Amino acid sequence: MPLIETRRLRLREMNADDLDEMAALLGDPRVMEYYPKAKDRAEASQWIARNRQSYAENGFGLWTVETLSGKFIGDCGLTWQIVNERPHLEVGYHIKASAQGNGYATEAALACRDHARGLGVSQRLIAVVHQDNRSSQRVAQKIGMRPDSALRHASPVHEVLSLEL
């Protein structure tokens, strides 16, 4: 069952059947350009397991993003990230290279922002974005986030954008 549905997308819990698609997504050097390295199949499996654990513990995590016709395009969702030495609710997203440039990341992130407002677990939503990742910065800005100099991620090459929920 979809957790969230938008005009063009469905966000649902990841499961073991998503492993091939998630391994391709997280193994793509273009998608993972701003990560230390692309992930292998075992790491993609761990990614799914961590998100499934987050669903059980928090009621949210990164969800599989697919078109309404069922075509896999990436993941997007909510996770806890440590910023300023305490947990903050983050929206994160990864869209496969062939689907980028169609507004899918923004559409999914907007839905997650609105979902976060309904959860009531945080007063602020953040995005931790590599300083050179202009595409991700634009997505965060399109959902209402602005750079927040009061928030610092442990990594000096990442900036934190935020918005009040």
Give domain limits for the chain: 4-164
Residue 77 neighbours by CB under 8 Å, 6+ apart: 11, 51, 60, 61, 62, 63, 91, 92, 93, 112
When pLDDT is cut at 50, 70 and 90, the band that residue 2 belongs to is low
Burial of 150 (0-12, 13-18, 19+ CB in 10 A): exposed
Which DSSP state fits 3? S
Digit-coded pLDDT (tens) for 79-90: 999 999 999 999
Q: Which residues of 35-44 are buried (b: 16+ CB within 10 A; e: fewer)?
A: eeebbeeeeb
What is the CATH T-level fold of the domain 4-164, as seen in this structure?
Answer: Aminopeptidase (3.40.630)
pTM equals 0.95
